[in-house]
A and B are shown apart, each in its own frame.
Chain A
Amino acid sequence: MARRENPEINAGSMADIAFLLLIFFLVTTTMNVDSGVSKKLAEKPPKDYVPPIIKKKNIFEVNLNFKNELQVEGERMEIKDLKEAAKAFIDNGGGVGKIVEGVVSGPCDYCKGERLDESSDHPNKAVISVLSDRGTEYGVYLKVQNELLRAYSELRNRLAKERYGVTYTELEEAYKNARDNESLKRKVEDIKKAYPQIISDAEPTSAN
């Protein structure tokens, strides 16, 4: 018998099969990456917890009412002005800082604020308190949160640029890619400690 060559496998319908799979994946999957404003909630306080007494000048009061109107330190304000006001408050540096891990932080030597007596003492003492109404729109609430976070990140960026020549955003990005880099970690922690984010959400009021 003559040796016959192996007949070729017909691959004509391969494309059809691949198309079928492709369409299946197109339909059942999504592409969007979930991103958002991340926040860490405070732990639930014990029943007999007495909140520490904070000097009034160290609290930056932000109020939102059910008509989505913004009030900052007793005066009405537009959302676009909130960031600058918050920056001025955090960066004021009018007094001495609190004791962190047994180290007295003393007066804020990196602050560039006006060092007013009636504003915050030190970034680690400055508390931003957001009080909103139950009826406030979520979009407006998040916008306010975002402006406050922006104030912090601009201050952090400025300080990181001065101390290490790169912005905090870049520093954090670099640290994310190299978790075991000790010097980067120290830098990130240092900036974080210099401008800690202290934003507290007060229990919302109710209009009725």
Chain B
Amino acid sequence: MSKFRKKKKGMPAVNTAALPDIVFMLLFFFMVTTTMRETDLKIENPRLPTATEVKKLEHKSLVSTIYVGKSNTPEKHGTGYNRIQLNDKIASSEDVPAFIINARTKVSEAEVPFMTTSIKADRESNVGTITDIRLKLRDVNALKISYSAGKGE
């Protein structure tokens, strides 16, 4: 009857040899589908308006983003939804031309006409602020703009 004697054995170790493969797969997935975070937001994350006629922005390197919204540090910059952030600091609409010209130096001359300015503004911002930005953009001939919006009704 020795054939039926139970073998005394501990739990077999789970084979983890394939674990690195799985993790690498995940890693490559994230490397391909995501983009680097570029700026720290100095304003509260803008609540973007929604629209149906949205187009995706292509060629990330040709897009410069202007944020408009409420400051993170109201004691320094005041409340209200009309603070403008360029690069990493709160600025005014007067600084927009310099920001655009600086962005232009980073791309080749042939690509300058395709540069787009994306305005990420909070839905409670005022049109006046947006208009100020728009007039400054027109002054430096940055004519392609995109009002950032989520897709939806």
Residues of A within 8 A of B (CB): 11-12, 14-15, 18-19, 21-22, 25-26, 28-31, 33-44, 64, 132-139, 141-143, 145-146, 149-150, 153, 201, 203-204, 206
Candidates A18, A138, A143; contact of B121 at CB < 8 Å: A138
A135-B128, A142-B149 as given contacts; A22 in contact with B30, CB under 8 Å: yes
The 3 closest A-B pairs by CB, nearest first: A134-B128, A139-B123, A29-B34
Complex contacts, A11 vs chain B, CB 8 Å: 17, 20
Among candidates A22, A134, A150, residue contacting B126 with C-beta atoms closer than 8 Å: A134
Residues of A close to B138: CB separation below 8 A: 41-44
Q: Given A22-B26, A36-B149, do A143 and B127 touch, yes or no (CB 8 Å)? A: no
Contact call A34/B126, Cβ cutoff below 8 A: no
Bound CA span A20–B63, Å: 31
Q: Is the CB of A26 within 8 A of B30?
A: yes
Are B34 and A137 within 8 A (Cβ)? Answer: no
Complex: chain B residue closest to A24, CB-CB? B27
Bound-complex Cα distance A166 to B4 (A): 74
In the bound complex, residues from chain B placing their C-beta under 8 Å from that of A38 are 55, 57, 116, 144-147
Contacts of A149 in B (CB 8 A): 53
Per the 8 Å Cβ criterion, residues 35-81 of B in contact with A are 35-37, 49, 51-57, 60, 63, 65, 68
Contact of B92 with A by CB under 8 A: no
B51 touches A146 (CB 8 A): yes
Contact in complex: A22, B53 (CB < 8 Å):
no
- Do residues A137 and B30 form an inter-chain contact, with CB atoms below 8 A? no
- Docked CA distance A109–B123 (Å): 40
| B residues in contact with A30, CB < 8 Å | 34-37
User: For residue A41, which residues in chain B have a CB less than 8 angstroms away from its CB?
Assistant: 134, 137-138, 143-145
A141→B130 contact, CB < 8 A: yes
Given A22-B30, A43-B143, CB of A138 within 8 Å of CB of B124: yes
Closest residue to B121 on the A side, CB-wise? A138
**Does B16 make an interface contact (CB < 8 A)?**
yes
Of A35, A42, A132, which is in contact with the most chain B CB atoms at under 10 Å from its CB?
A: A35
Q: Are A37 and B127 in contact (CB under 8 A)?
A: no
B145 A132 Cβ-Cβ under 8 A: no
Question: In the complex where A36-B57, A38-B116, A38-B146 touch, is A143 in contact with B49 (Cβ < 8 A)?
Answer: yes
| Closest beta carbon of chain B to A13's beta carbon, Å | 9
With contact pairs A21-B27, A38-B55 given, residues A138 and B34 touching in the complex (Cβ less than 8 Å): no
Closest A residue to B144 by beta carbon equals A40
Question: B14: CB under 8 A from chain A?
Answer: no
Chain B residues with Cβ under 8 A from A137's Cβ?
123-127
How many whole Å from B21's CB to the nearest CB in chain A?
9
Q: Which residue on chain A has the smallest CB distance to residue B127?
A: A136
The answer to whether A150 touches B147 (Cβ under 8 A) is no
B89 within 8 A of A: no
